[in-house]
Structure 1
């Protein structure tokens, strides 16, 4: 049962994270939002979630590159709700450039937000989940957790790391009633994907339309973007009791990309 549980979704003010948060709230979970919106926008989003789904919602502006702020967010959510039962590590950033031109600060940022933040969040929720003998850890990985693309060295490294982290956590907590799985979407039309198009245009000397058709959708045999609603539906299933036998899995949702 998801109803009455508490879900914390990082990077949940737009894109995949928001869709997952809304889908869990629709199932009756109280939710903790995270993002970097201005205070007024964040409060409006929080109120809208509560009004639309009749659940409790809190907003935390924690910087996902800061281990201290992540730990404080988890502690405050546990204090407010009594527990964090479902953790969805979704926060992510991207940068596209040839490796010889890749800024060191961008490498550090991507590893911190896309990989290390998941470690810090899992580390913080693990004691409570183990003590209650119930928990769901869902990491939003990527097809790039399984295969690589050029000009995305940091992102590919981080997502491969997320896959390994997911498996290690699943084994550690296998007898504690806690599952850990990763969803590996292909290209989903989100602000993150849209923002990487200019960098890919520069790196590959392509037009916007060429990047979409010859780089993004070319990778997916369906020639269609995955939708945020599809990813959210899988997250809801992984959070349910029906999925208690699934742990340590890296579940592809990529239009056939990694089947090639």
Structure 2
């Protein structure tokens, strides 16, 4: 039986990345898992149905990215699927957004996915097949108060997706983004804690406020995001898209 292409999932230690890795593994993919925390990656690997590689790395390091994809090439001949999920979120009023805050958001959410795409795509082009999916955000489609740097980074990575999709159209390589709203993840837990600290609301009130931002009145689940990623992996006619998974908040 032919093996399915190998997949690389960044930010695979928890949340969306873990759900995507488990989904791909359940569908028969060999999955390389990367994030900073080895313990979380091994917990994800234990949930996967098939073969995995646990490759701890700092995704903001270009050298670490090269080592990551070299390891996948050595083990499996390269990656046919990349899910660039690793990301971070911080909020601040625009006038209090420091240069350091700005740089962190762009480095993690924009530069790191770009570097991963740049590193993985030559092998995909050589094989005439590739599926690249970047986990962006509905903040790639609209602005909100207090997230200038985060929204800028997500708008930017959607531009990378669209340009790469146009460049590689017809090669067998597709490039798409999945744009979730507020998802029930550890990152959202941090947002809830920050809102509670800043506003004096209880964590339950802060979480309810985030859920209310979405027309269906609840947080998105990680499995719903993973389902959208799977659609991008399996449907070759999807290319250059930013697929919203937000309960209907952004209609496009």
TM over 0.5: yes
Residue in 2 that maps onto 1:252: 244
| TM-aligned CA distance change 1:247 to 1:212, over 3 Å | same
CA distance in 2: counterparts of 1:204 and 1:40, whole angstroms: 34
CA contact (8 A) 1:188 1:225 kept: yes
Q: How does 1:47-196 map to 2 (within 5 A)?
A: 48-49=46-47, 52-53=48-49, 55-196=50-191
- Report the Cα distance in structure 2 between the residues aligned to 1:156 and 1:146, rounded to whole angstroms: 8
Q: Give the one of 202, 214, 218 matched to 2:212.
A: 218
Matches of 1:41 and 1:194, distance apart in 2: 17
Larger RCO: Structure 1 or Structure 2 (Cα < 8 Å, ≥ 6 residues apart)? Answer: 1
CA distance in 1, matches of 2:243, 2:78: 27
TM-score by length of 2: 0.93
CA distance in 2, matches of 1:130, 1:45: 29
Could you say if the C-alpha distance between residues 199 and 41 of structure 1 is closer, same or farther in structure 2, counting changes exceeding 3 Å? closer
Work out the CA distance in 2 between the residues paired with 1:209 and 1:40. 29
Q: Quote the Cα distance in structure 1 between the aligned partners of 2:97 and 2:200.
A: 17
TM-fit CA distance, 1:108: 1.2
Distance, in Å, in 1 between the alignment partners of 2:39 and 2:236 is: 38
The unaligned stretches of length 5 or more in structure 2 are none
Q: Distance in 2 between matches of 1:58 and 1:106?
A: 32
Taking the aligned partners of 1:197 and 1:129, their CA distance within structure 2 comes to: 39
Per-residue CA distance 1:217-236 (angstroms, 9 max, x = gap): 22211001111111111211
Checking the alignment, whether the CA contact within 8 Å between 2:140 and 2:179 is kept in structure 1 is: yes
Distance 2:98 2:26 in 1: 41
For residues 228 and 170 of structure 2, what CA distance do their matches in structure 1 show?
23
Q: Hey, what does 1:230 align to over in structure 2?
A: 224
Could you say what the CA RMSD is over the residues aligned between the two structures, in angstroms?
1.8
In the superposition, the TM-score normalised over structure 1's length comes to 0.91
Q: SS in structure 1 opposite 2:88?
A: coil
Deviations 1:160-207 (A, max 9, x none): 111111100001110210000111111111001111223233445544
Q: 1:40 to 1:139 in 2, by over 3 A?
A: closer
Aligned-residue offset at 1:126: 0.8
- Residue 202 and residue 96 in structure 1: after superposition, are their counterparts in 2 closer, same or farther (change >3 A)? farther
| Whole-Å separation in 2 of the counterparts to 1:192 and 1:203 | 17
Equivalent position SS for 2:187: helix
Regions of 4+ moved over 4 Å: 202-205
Q: Bigger CA drift: 162-171 or 102-111?
A: 102-111
8 Å contact kept, 2:11–2:86: yes
Structure 1 regions of 5+ residues with no counterpart?
none
SS of the equivalent of 1:193 reads helix
Distance 1:225 1:42 in 2: 24
Query: How far apart are 1:210 and its partner, in Å?
Result: 3.2
